[in-house]
Structure 1
């Protein structure tokens, strides 16, 4: 049976699983922030004359996308092509908008599109981003998973030098072996335990990650 596929002419980006943080030994000065994460760009399939699909919003919460090398298309979650589900959806940019849930696997950045001619006015797609969770493992956004747009308690990192660190899988299956594990999130460095060997900037309400050697 043919499945309905909803597509829009939107540019979609995947936020790479890079840690945005800082590194410093206990009692040391402020570390340098990581450079922004690298991005892979993709373009969705050409759109039909009128939008069709599963809701009024492209990739709304609980809707699903396919997973391809060059495109991400909204599909029914019951489709064999479905690969990831939207766990949160926001307008605007990641920098200015709410944070994705802690265990988000990746983020899709959606460029604004406003067709010059639209029969019923519902073809516009505002700029926004969708926080995605894979339907099947692996889940890089899980604690220790080695990826995801956020670094959380339970994640591991390795030292890049020059005050920078990057997240890697705690089980050692990543390209680099883990060197430190984030064991606690606190308001300030003074609240970290004595065993802390590295401070990692997490952001949010408890912005400091206390990491110990592994």
Structure 2
């Protein structure tokens, strides 16, 4: 097992829950998001903190890098990027949640070179990790009612002021679904004639065509 040393490292992780899969409606007004912050000390199991295929623990107050085979492992990194989410690539469609990693400076192991996101002086740059739970349910799956992105197969309800929020298609969420996204296209002209609502998705096909349920 690869190892690395951290002394007094404090990495701030802000979890973008977006549990409602908040996206804009046809009005184009931005929807809100829910955030929670934690300050765990990374344990270090590779050359990059929370690199792709590494795992984190999961709790209400902290997220720590742990061995994927350990009993504390709860979610796996499926994509990892430096910088802010707003400036970088979107997470994969079926991401369950996103960890925001604040830029930090480690006190130990300053002479060892680091690959893929950790400098020779131990600096961990700002970045974000796209996480997938190790076990179901997966809120990022189509119809799951959560995840950082709204995708084809997801359901939404009107939350007021021309905005929509994602909810579980099976009705198990706090709000009942009103529309289901049936297609993603580049512009509204590509939606079927029977489309009842346009939902902003982002990505290469930013318009979601939704039908009333």
Q: TM-score range by the shorter chain?
A: 0.7 to 0.9
Cα 1:123–1:160 change in 2 (3 A) is same
CA contact (8 A) 1:20 1:202 kept: no
The reply to whether residue 80 of structure 1 matches residue 81 of structure 2 is no
- Give, in whole Å, the separation in 2 of the partners of 1:124 and 1:193: 50
Report if aligned partners of 1:20, 1:201 keep a CA contact under 8 Å in 2: no
Q: Which position in structure 2 is the counterpart of 1:141?
A: 140
* Match among 41, 46, 67 for residue 37 of structure 2: 41
**Could you say which residue in structure 2 is the equivalent of 1:27?**
none
8 Å CA contact 2:4, 2:47 repeated in 1? no
- Contact 2:24/2:31 (CA < 8 Å) preserved in 1? no
Kindly state the Cα deviation for residue 32 of structure 1 after the two structures are TM-superposed.
3.3
Q: Distance in 1 between matches of 2:92 and 2:69?
A: 23
Aligned to 1:22: 24
2:117 corresponds to which residue? none
* Equivalent position of 2:175 in the other structure: 176
Q: How many residues align?
A: 200
Report if aligned partners of 1:156, 1:179 keep a CA contact under 8 Å in 2. Answer: yes
Which residue does 1:28 correspond to in 2? none
Q: 1:3-152 counterparts in 2 under 5 A?
A: 8-17=9-18, 18-24=20-26, 31-45=27-41, 53-115=44-106, 118-120=109-111, 121=120, 123-152=122-151
1:95 alignment partner, SS class: helix
Task: Compute the TM-score of the two structures, normalised by the length of structure 1.
Answer: 0.87
- Could you tell me how far apart the structure 1 residues matched to 2:176 and 2:97 are? 22
CA shift in 2, pair 1:80/1:115, >3 Å: closer
For 2:5 and 2:64, the matched residues in 1 are separated by: 7
Show CA shifts across 1:20-59 (max 9, x none): 43323xxxxxx132234121111113x6xxxx63211100
Provide structure 2 residue ranges, at least 5 long, that are not aligned to the other structure. 112-119
What runs of 5+ residues in structure 1 fail to find an aligned partner? 25-30
How big is the alpha-carbon RMSD for the aligned residues of Structure 1 and Structure 2? 1.9
Aligned residues of 2:107 and 2:122 also touching (Cα < 8 A)? no
Is the CA contact 2:40–2:63 (under 8 Å) kept in the aligned structure 1?
yes
